[in-house]
Amino acid sequence: MITHTMQAFDEDLHKLLRKLVDMIEMDATQIRAATDALVRHDATVAAQVIDLDAKIDEMQRDVEEEAITVIARRQPMAVDLREIVGALRIASDLERIGDFAENIAKRVLLMDDLRIPQVMPRFRHMAQLALDQLTKVMQSYVDRDAARAVDVWQCDQEIDAFNLSLFRELLTHMLESPVNITYCIHFLFCAKNLERIGDHITNIAETIYYIVEGHRISGQRPKADLTSKDQLPLPV
Amino acid sequence: MITHTMQAFDEDLHKLLRKLVDMIEMDATQIRAATDALVRHDATVAAQVIDLDAKIDEMQRDVEEEAITVIARRQPMAVDLREIVGALRIASDLERIGDFAENIAKRVLLMDDLRIPQVMPRFRHMAQLALDQLTKVMQSYVDRDAARAVDVWQCDQEIDAFNLSLFRELLTHMLESPVNITYCIHFLFCAKNLERIGDHITNIAETIYYIVEGHRISGQRPKADLTSKDQLPLPV
């Protein structure tokens, strides 16, 4: 009887996991589409990304409802509850990642044409870093692989460093010519959105580690963003 | 016996509510301090805000642990579970609000001195709008006042509109003189952080409405941010 109940609970958890994997895949699609919209200056694709964001919000609410149903039906013990609360946390991070992709798409609609095209490959590269991290974090969740979660956690600084170097490049364009300023501001916020996507993937890695290992990753989160004056080229 | 259990459950919920109110108060303190640090260019206060952020993260984890304990101990029905999941959602939004205050403080540490002091009262004003919203959302939660939650939800566009007008002002300063550019970028991100704080307060209002009324607020969230081209003064 206990085995039967445990098996049913495992099936419930698996269903929850499946929903989260669907959300991750949806996020990946949105990140890819938003970056395409930006790089090719494609308003149609941007509008699709904006439309689809509601779907991700709905998926999050669905995970919440499912989690409530599982708890109410199975009345799991505290240790299993932790797993479900972890799933809620991950769903929340995935929903925000969708928002950041949507923000990029919204910016695309604000730009009249494509300027400073030479920075575009940088956005593709940065988005790819985020997508790679997202794939890794999904695998670590499915395989309950704490080591891989730590790997994701440690690699976030790569995206941060990339954002910083892009920031410097955009700053140069702004200083060169005032007509670039508004465009570069949009690009800065787009890069920031990709960097924030990286942060939320790191949050997910932390949650997965916690679910698998039962305690938090020790040490400071590795960062390479604007946290020290030395890194920022202030004009005099 | 049932009454006794229900009373114990109510006490548990009240304890959870108390923890969330503490988090709201901590957020308010952090928003106030971060704005002070920015406006008076005070690196000491900025460093304190950064230090204190870990405390808010800890408070969120504490709410999660408490929620798990309550569920495991009382095994509430689905409708009561919804209230607890709502509390987890609110804690997550409050934790992010803390992050945005910390981001402002981090920016302060990146600036060498105070430039364009004439925009500083605008930051105070914008922070005050957010603080007023935070107070209102706290009251709506404590009083389970759905009408007040709707009021908070509708007023967010005031912060968005303020951010847009500040954006325009900063853009003028950037176009006027290249030496202003880096500073103005910091200011833009600070303003964006305050705007995002407003967004998360709106999320909380939505969650409270859902907890009290059992269904979601209908209609589109009122927005006054950069979502249409007409609003943005693009330089030619």
Mutate to test the interface with B, among A94, A113, A174 (most CBs of B within 10 A): A174
> Does B87 score more than 70 pLDDT?
yes
Distance from CA of A2 to the nearest CA of B (A): 18
pLDDT band at A129 (very low <50, low <70, confident <90, very high): very high
CA–CA separation, A68 and A60 (whole Å): 13
Say yes or no: B116 contacts chain A, CB-CB below 8 A. Answer: no
Q: What is the pLDDT of residue A135?
A: 97
Q: What is the pLDDT of residue A51?
A: 97
Sign of CA dihedral B217, B218, B224, B228: positive
- Asked if B78 lies within 8 A of A72 by C-beta distance, the reply is yes
Say yes or no: A68 contacts chain B, CB-CB below 8 A. Answer: yes
Q: What is the pLDDT of residue B101?
A: 98
CA–CA separation, B173 and B122 (whole Å): 14
pLDDT band at B62 (very low <50, low <70, confident <90, very high): very high
Ranking A12-21, A76-85, A160-169, B159-168 by mean pLDDT, the lowest is A76-85
pLDDT band at B113 (very low <50, low <70, confident <90, very high): confident
For range A74-79, the mean pLDDT: 86
Q: What is the pLDDT of residue B5?
A: 75
Helix (H) or strand (E) holding A6: helix A2-39
Q: What angle do CA A137, A94, B69 make, to 5 degrees?
A: 90
- Count of Cβ atoms closer than 10 Å to residue A180 Cβ: 18
Nearest Cα neighbor of A148 from A77, A209, A64 is A209
pTM of the model: 0.91
Which residue carries 């500040």 as its tokens? Answer: B166
pLDDT band at A229 (very low <50, low <70, confident <90, very high): very low
Q: What is the pLDDT of residue A3?
A: 61
Q: What is the pLDDT of residue B216?
A: 87
- Asked if A110 lies within 8 A of B67 by C-beta distance, the reply is no
Mean pLDDT (chain A, rounded): 90
pLDDT band at A228 (very low <50, low <70, confident <90, very high): very low
Ranking A86-95, A106-115, B119-128 by mean pLDDT, the lowest is A106-115
Q: What is the pLDDT of residue A231?
A: 43
Q: Which residues of B touch A82 (CB under 8 A)?
A: 68
> Does B220 score more than 80 pLDDT?
no
Q: Which residues of A touch B82 (CB under 8 A)?
A: 68
pLDDT band at B227 (very low <50, low <70, confident <90, very high): very low
pLDDT band at B2 (very low <50, low <70, confident <90, very high): low
- Asked if B72 lies within 8 A of A78 by C-beta distance, the reply is yes
pLDDT above 70 covers a percentage of chain A that reads 92
Mean pLDDT (chain B, rounded): 90
Q: What is the pLDDT of residue B219?
A: 72
Q: What is the pLDDT of residue A83?
A: 92
What three-state secondary structure class fits A224?
Answer: coil
Q: What is the pLDDT of residue A224?
A: 62
> Does A4 score more than 80 pLDDT?
no
Q: Which residues of A touch B178 (CB under 8 A)?
A: 174-175, 178, 235
CA–CA separation, A199 and B43 (whole Å): 25
Q: What dihedral do alpha carbons A38, B231, B171, B225 form, nearest 10°?
A: -70
For range A94-110, the mean pLDDT: 97
